[in-house]
Chain A
Amino acid sequence: MKEIVDGLLLELRRGVLILGVLSQLNQKEYGYSLIQKLQLHKFDIEAGTLYPLLRRLEKQGLLESSWELIENRPRRYYQISQQGVVLYEQLKKEYFDMNAIMSQLTQGEIT
């Protein structure tokens, strides 16, 4: 039963993963700093999930990246692009619309 629950919770979270990531990239962040920023808001995401996701979003044109040398270590910084902002607004609206619908659907107890 625990595996089923964990699997379904994962599916639920996957739906909002991109929205959550895009919401924190209005300023430049690198991989680990983004994880810490999301954790501050109690949004847990595994590094193994986030890092490939960032590359994928960049490939899709939703993020822009640049390399910076900080303390002799090259770091890749990501920030939301213009296209990403447009998509983010669409996703955000859709999320709140769905949230309102789900709130209505889940009112009351299941008997």
Chain B
Amino acid sequence: MNNIEIYVFEVVKYLPRHLREDVKLELTSQLMDMIEDLDHQDHAVQTVLESMGSPKVLADRYLNKQSALIGPRYYEVYSKIIKIVILALTLAFTITFGIKIFFSEVISLWIILEYFGTLLNASMMAFAYVTLIFAFMEYKEFKIEDKDLESTSWTINDLPQQTIDLPTHRFENIFEIGFLCIVLYVINIQPNLIGIYSVVVNANESVWKVIPILNEVTRSTWIILVNGWLGLLLLSGIIKAIYRLSDHQRMLASTILDSIALGVFAFIVLTQEVIVSNVAGLIVPDNEGFSMMVTRGSLIVVALIFAVNLYEIIKRFIKLNQKKGL
């Protein structure tokens, strides 16, 4: 891939999707005109690209960069994440309230009002948190850009060796962000829904029952750690979606967050009693063999999750080190 293509890519990757193809075509044509006009072809590309300046600065000019709470640089990603988070919350609320209604003997207007009230409240909180994160990022970039992005300091040697693949669909990790929002909601607002579902057959009817498995006795000690763990994973997912940052920045930030999250996960597993101790007994009472199978099986699953995540993190750190060494 030649430097012109890489330069153009480095500009358009910061632009909204609907502008990319058009700007790519136009800018490439304009650069070719400038290069052709120069006599000595050896350094023509370098001269032209360095006269155009840093791709990030040029992209800002295309965006008509202005000071804003959340400017055009981040707005596209921000609006998509807001939609994902609110959609995930609505889904979570609807499912859990649906289950609540399913289990309640009396369906009252109060439950319906509670549904809409809680949904509105949670949506506004989620909107506030996501807006705060992106406003902070906009502020940080705005503060550093004056000294960091002077076009005279950019040279052709600052171009990467090759381009990355931009996602072909909206987000690669849309499911990750949505799923984490749902889990966070359920663990904090409706923890009793995480449990063993069974049908109790009485004389003339069968009744659905859920036996919660989260340890309510020790909840006050583990809930903060679990929220912290899930929060780190969610933040990592959001950062992966922000293509305004360079590949290196995204990979480094998400790898560090995932490492800390893995450490917190290990700490939770080793020291906290998140799940009640006699889960197997709740399913099949008085069966030692089954209890042992469930306990060992759980340990194997947890160990596998830990090992796979650790392997992924180590692989990413090695890749980051290799890129640094290039």
Cβ proximity bits A26-43 to B, threshold 8 Å, 1 near / 0 not: 000011110000000000
* B51 & A47 in contact (Cβ 8 Å cutoff): yes
* B37 & A32 in contact (Cβ 8 Å cutoff): yes
Interface residues in A80-102 (C-beta closer than 8 Å to B): none
Chain A positions within 8 Å of B202 at CB level: none
Q: How far is the CA of A48 from the CA of B61 in the complex (A)?
A: 8
Chain B positions within 8 Å of A74 at CB level: 25, 29
- Tell me how far the C-beta of B35 lies from the nearest C-beta in chain A, rounded to whole angstroms: 10
Q: Which of A12-20, A49-57, A103-111 contacts B (4 or more CB under 8 A)?
A: A49-57
Q: How far is the CA of A49 from the CA of B57 in the complex (A)?
A: 10
Q: Given A32-B30, A73-B32, A76-B29, are A55 and B51 neighbors across the interface (CB < 8 Å)?
A: no
Interface residues in B178-198 (C-beta closer than 8 Å to A): none
Interface residues on A, range: 10 to 19
* B64 & A47 in contact (Cβ 8 Å cutoff): no
B151 interface residue (CB < 8 Å to A): yes
* A51 & B27 in contact (Cβ 8 Å cutoff): yes
Of the candidates A30, A48, A75, the one whose C-beta lies within 8 Å of that of B52 is A48
* B61 & A52 in contact (Cβ 8 Å cutoff): yes
Interface residues in B130-189 (C-beta closer than 8 Å to A): 151
B119 interface residue (CB < 8 Å to A): no
B58 interface residue (CB < 8 Å to A): yes
* A31 & B33 in contact (Cβ 8 Å cutoff): yes
Q: How far is the CA of A49 from the CA of B37 in the complex (A)?
A: 19
Chain B positions within 8 Å of A55 at CB level: 23, 26, 62
Q: How far is the CA of A48 from the CA of B23 in the complex (A)?
A: 13
Chain A positions within 8 Å of B34 at CB level: 32, 47
B53 interface residue (CB < 8 Å to A): yes
Cβ proximity bits B30-57 to A, threshold 8 Å, 1 near / 0 not: 1011100100000000000001110001
Of the candidates B23, B26, B32, B51, the one whose C-beta lies within 8 Å of that of A46 is B51
Give me the 5 closest cross-chain CB pairs, A-B, nearest first: A32-B33, A52-B61, A31-B30, A52-B62, A48-B52
Chain B residues within 8 Å of A, Cβ to Cβ: 23, 25-27, 29-30, 32-34, 37, 51-53, 57-58, 61-62, 64, 151
Q: Could you write out 25 A-B pairs with CB less than 8 Å apart?
A: A30-B30, A31-B26, A31-B30, A31-B33, A32-B30, A32-B34, A33-B33, A46-B51, A47-B30, A47-B34, A47-B51, A47-B52, A48-B51, A48-B52, A48-B53, A48-B61, A52-B62, A52-B64, A55-B26, A55-B62, A73-B29, A73-B32, A74-B25, A75-B33, A76-B29
Chain A residues within 8 Å of B, Cβ to Cβ: 30-33, 46-49, 51-53, 55-56, 73-76
Known: A31-B26, A55-B26. 4 other contacts (CB 8 A): A32-B33, A47-B51, A73-B32, A76-B29
